[in-house]
Structure 1
């Protein structure tokens, strides 16, 4: 995967920029540079009428002639190649690269050292959208959507706040207090006044909000379910919490895509648990929540899936309540729902399953406490969380309790993520199939007739992989028949 572009807003005021090309595209680029206060130098044997007018008015410097690499030696800061000749554009790019100058070759991402994004402008507020140069039409579509979300009042707000920035920083010297002030400001009447063109009233409102006694801010904790990995499955409340958080305590399995949606200047602390590697003790997680909440921070305890389904959410809330810490809960889409849906497996079905059981197989002790005869009953779906290391024991217990060796299963690895894999087969093949396909955590096990629908209904990612017979699965097949097999 290619590295993402580094987003950058360049101050070009009073700085020379070379534009190679004299046509309509070069004219558009030059006009944008002039709006930014740059000093464009346009090199071309002929100019478009618009560029000629700019040259005649001394708004640009015209370098008359074919491209000459010496143009790059005249103290320019950036270079834009905007000709319709690929050979000339490549020559410009190579010459700029040799001089360590950033160059943009219009419509050629491979030759470009920087890209000009699609931009939404609201006064001093600018929102830039880039596709890395590979899909400019996608960036333009996103820009149109953002245009609808942010009206001109946001630009007026940026101008007003910019003028009062020194006073605001003096009134709220601490970053956390200043951030809370802006949250109250955005949620208050100020934007409405600006939309009504009441600029004096808006400035008065800003000063009143600054003078008002800031409410004492007590820390709090929001328990947020992050879902199974696809950031599109986050709820709106989860996004709100992530964007307001001062501290984010996140599990190891929370995806990087989800974390990227959080506030960039929040403190991120991984507190994951792993059966194989380093784990954070639950007592330490409790202590971190208490420490940061007592310091007045907004803490997000971010858990994979849903915090109340095998996520120890109840234990953490009991701890917070016992210490007088305010909390709220934002549910997440638990792995059973998300992974099954992304694998095309309905957890219930009128013809196959009228019951659903969610089971944790985290350790031997949890397996020993399960009601295996109840789990082996027909016409139900079993979903095992955290069971990758215990697949052989799960098969043994279920076969011993009478579940048919031919019962379909589906193992869903990295469910809902770009690298999702689904391995399907029959109960007799379960641990061998996992070994053959090197299934790793996180993976969810679904058992029951509905699991066989993964082949028919898959829609996300690659089609399911299938188990192949092995010695141990054949021996399981020839085990003494059970009532379930006979059925």
Structure 2
């Protein structure tokens, strides 16, 4: 984050605007409906009365002095003379104000974000002054989907806040109450211009507010690109109180969660299970029994080599309510990102997803059925066992010349795609010096993958 948006309460706040051109008038208009003490200086001459916004203060046709700026919290300067603007900025700063010199970021303490004003609710979009037109464009898009009744709804919530806190001392129960209030009939009644009925609906909900039972959502995070999260995954992620996530879930996905949600990292690597599976299951059960909404977040799809089935069984056995939200599994995403079709009318009439690392002591995959031609084999967790994968497929009848593709960090900015032959798979993986998760694809369709001419991470450097 390169820009921090702070919210200044405007009650009894002195705001000074200097200038009469459109840049200054635009700042002036921001505060016309606010409770701020708004003062307007026009040293270059005041605009005609017809050009002044309704409710604007009477312009003071002179340059402000130190006494005029004393006590000001925010000062906006929109003057054509840069030297004079810089002098006034220094004077305002000396008086303790935060200063914005319009269209001159180097002279400013802050930039004004593009704002959506819904009275009690204000949304700001900032680019640090680098792309104001982009911020305005984003504002227009967001404004189109925000209901006009947000302000009255927030005002009603403010009126009831103390009552809710006194009636529902449990923090989680209060949160659930507000979620129901903001998402249910009360919000619709406010939007319909019926605030008295909306208040009665909120009070009715308040009488029913009790601590809820916890729940667990086992969620597929997809291969790493946060835009591949499903809408349902995003919704439950943003509602979660606790997120228990794997190593393969990138920060870009976790950033889509609510910022105050607790995050518990239980990631595993080959040979290093820092948190054993039974402890993960116990953690999920304990958090749900504490009344929390838990998201068990897994890379890819939880039911494709993700041990989601084991976790679901453990939750059901403990009597914990649980739901599964599927994700885009790595085979589909990595293949698509590399331009590699898993099936093709000319090259592959079947596809098999297989793991190269079976359960310790458990049965291995039946490689003898994977050796047929015109058959795509997508191998999970196979990079470290590439030699064994190649050996067993060739023993099953697959030709050494069969095309292969290795996709590392599929769908992410540092994705790499490498191509070769089955009899050279081990060397291909070894020479690539893989550091991220990788999928192996074996079959005629692998020849269609678009390999990197230069590895992406090297090209980016």
- TM-score category by the smaller chain? 0.7 to 0.9
Shift, 1:88, TM fit: 6.3
Q: CA offsets, 1:280-324, max 9 Å, x none?
A: 211110111111111111111111110000000000011111111
Shift, 1:134, TM fit: 2.9
Q: Distance in 2 between the 1:444 and 1:81 partners?
A: 57
Q: Distance in 2 between the 1:57 and 1:135 partners?
A: 29
Among 173, 185, 205, the residue aligned to 2:169: 173
Q: Distance in 2 between the 1:81 and 1:334 partners?
A: 54
Alignment of 1:51-450 (within 5 A): 59=58, 63-64=62-63, 74=70, 76-84=72-80, 102-107=98-103, 112-211=108-207, 213-214=208-209, 217-275=212-270, 279-362=274-357, 369-450=364-445
3-state DSSP class of the match of 1:357? strand
1:8 maps to 6
TM-score by length of 2: 0.87
Q: CA offsets, 1:444-481, max 9 Å, x none?
A: 122222122122xx8xxx66759xxxxxxxxxxxxxxx
Alpha-carbon contact 1:361-1:367 (below 8 Å) kept: no
1:30 maps to 28
Shift, 1:326, TM fit: 0.9
Q: Distance in 1 between the 2:270 and 2:83 partners?
A: 58
Question: 1:33 and 1:275, CA in 2 relative to 1: closer, same or farther beyond 3 A?
Answer: same
Alpha-carbon contact 2:40-2:57 (below 8 Å) kept: no
Unpaired runs of at least 5, structure 2: 457-461
Q: Distance in 1 between the 2:388 and 2:56 partners?
A: 84
TM-score by length of 1: 0.83
1:474 maps to none
Q: Distance in 2 between the 1:186 and 1:73 partners?
A: 41
3-state DSSP class of the match of 1:429? helix
**Greater displacement, 171-180 / 90-99:** 90-99
Alpha-carbon contact 2:38-2:57 (below 8 Å) kept: no
Question: 1:375 and 1:58, CA in 2 relative to 1: closer, same or farther beyond 3 A?
Answer: closer
Alpha-carbon contact 1:24-1:48 (below 8 Å) kept: no
Shift, 1:222, TM fit: 0.8
Q: Distance in 2 between the 1:170 and 1:24 partners?
A: 48
Shift, 1:235, TM fit: 1.5
**Greater displacement, 309-318 / 36-45:** 36-45
Q: Distance in 1 between the 2:15 and 2:82 partners?
A: 20
Q: Distance in 2 between the 1:366 and 1:322 partners?
A: 25
Alignment of 1:436-475 (within 5 A): 436-455=431-450
**Greater displacement, 3-12 / 338-347:** 3-12
Q: Distance in 2 between the 1:295 and 1:428 partners?
A: 54
Alpha-carbon contact 1:41-1:63 (below 8 Å) kept: no
Q: Distance in 1 between the 2:426 and 2:213 partners?
A: 50
Q: Distance in 2 between the 1:49 and 1:150 partners?
A: 35
Q: CA offsets, 1:138-184, max 9 Å, x none?
A: 33233223223222222211111111111011111222001111222
Question: 1:98 and 1:398, CA in 2 relative to 1: closer, same or farther beyond 3 A?
Answer: farther
Q: Distance in 2 between the 1:85 and 1:435 partners?
A: 64
3-state DSSP class of the match of 2:449? helix
Q: Distance in 2 between the 1:78 and 1:207 partners?
A: 39
Shift, 1:424, TM fit: 2.0
Shift, 1:230, TM fit: 1.4
